[in-house]
Amino acid sequence: MRVPMIAGNWKMNTTVGEAIKLVSELCQGLDKIGNVEKVLCPPFVSLTAVRELIKGSSIKLGAQNIHFEPKGAYTGEISPLMIADLCEFVIIGHSERRQYFHENGEIVSKKLTAALAVGLKPILCIGERLKENEAGRTEEVVTEQLTSSLAGIDYPDDLVIAYEPVWAIGTGKAATGEQANGTIGFIRRSISQLLGKSTAQNIRILYGGSVTAANTAEFMNQPEIDGALVGGASLKAAEFLSIVKQTSELRR
Ligand code: PEP
């Protein structure tokens, strides 16, 4: 049985003070919800403060990015070792990093390998752009992203994948449950070919893209979808709590 996961990606939002306020509003309620792995991914500068606040709770911490080198002259970067000291999870290959910071398959693969090497659990994001979707190229694009990222990785069972169609991220235009379930089923079959049947059975594949409290049930009622990576709605305490609660109830 795959335990569902709901991860909140706060992106470049919240000062340290705002992060503390948001976690304080979330902590008690989130902690009580069972049957779902709950992960908060605040900005780097708030990781330590959030870590203190969730200590002893069932809430887990993730970072939004890492560099692939363990240390050295890379001014402004944050290494996997530094993050492994604070977090259990790290988001890798988010489409905003691919789009605005030119992260290609090779860089994503290096980051994935570096994360796994220090015991971090990566949440690997893949997904097609609008033009690729409209041209019927979704399966081709996710296959290419999977193949370039996963070649030769160790500890694949620690991996979580987030299928995030780029056209659905931050747009308010979510995929339908059926569309997301279809592509996630395809991704699972591809993982079976790339990493073996048992990994494909164990690996969690989340949906991400304009998930809200109002559409959570549509996704969580689908058999292939193991949870969600939530952006905008994770910044609103009541809404994020509702997403996690609904997931717990629907997957019981
Ligand atoms: C995300 O940041 O990964 C995301 C899915 O954002 P949103 O929920 O705002 O579309």
Confidence of residue 157 (pLDDT cuts 50, 70, 90): confident
Q: Mean pLDDT score of the chain, rounded to an integer?
A: 96
Helices 138-150, 105-117: crossing angle, 10 deg rounding: 50
Amino acid symbol at 66: I
DSSP state of 65: -
Candidate list 37, 94, 103, 218, residue with the active-site label: 94
CB 211 within 8 A of CB 239: no
Q: How many CB atoms lie within 10 A of CB 108?
A: 24
The residue whose C-alpha atom lies closest to atom 7 belonging to ligand 1 is 231
pLDDT at 252: 81
* 234 CA: nearest ligand 1 atom: 8
CB 249 within 8 A of CB 216: no
Statement: residue 153 has pLDDT above 90 = no
pTM above 0.85, yes or no: yes
| Best residue among 11, 13, 40, 171 to mutate for probing ligand 1, ranked by most atoms within 8 Å of CB | 11
pLDDT digits (tens, 9 = 90+) for 22-52: 999 999 999 999 999 999 999 999 999 999 9
DSSP state of 135: T
**Dist CA 161 CA 147 (whole Å):** 13
Tokens in use for 7?
A: 């991860």
CA-nearest of 232, 136, 122 to 179 is 136
CB 127 within 8 A of CB 174: no
Cα 158 to chain centroid distance, Å, stands at 13
Amino acid symbol at 161: I
**Rounded to 5 degrees, what are φ and ψ at 203?**
-70, 140
pLDDT at 71: 96
CB 100 within 8 A of CB 64: no
Q: Is the CB of 164 under 6 A from ligand 1?
A: yes
pLDDT at 133: 96
Rounded (5°) CA angle 199-201-206: 95
Strands 121-126 and 227-230: unpaired
Candidate list 128, 164, 218, 239, residue with the active-site label: 164
Q: Is the CB of 122 under 6 A from ligand 1?
A: no
* Annotation marks residue 102 as catalytic: no
Q: Is the CB of 62 under 6 A from ligand 1?
A: no
The residue whose C-alpha atom lies closest to atom 1 belonging to ligand 1 is 231
Burial level of 134, CB count in 10 A (0-12/13-18/19+)?
exposed
Confidence of residue 141 (pLDDT cuts 50, 70, 90): very high
pLDDT at 109: 94
pLDDT digits (tens, 9 = 90+) for 102-114: 999 999 999 999 9
pLDDT digits (tens, 9 = 90+) for 197-218: 999 999 999 999 999 999 999 9
* Annotation marks residue 164 as catalytic: yes
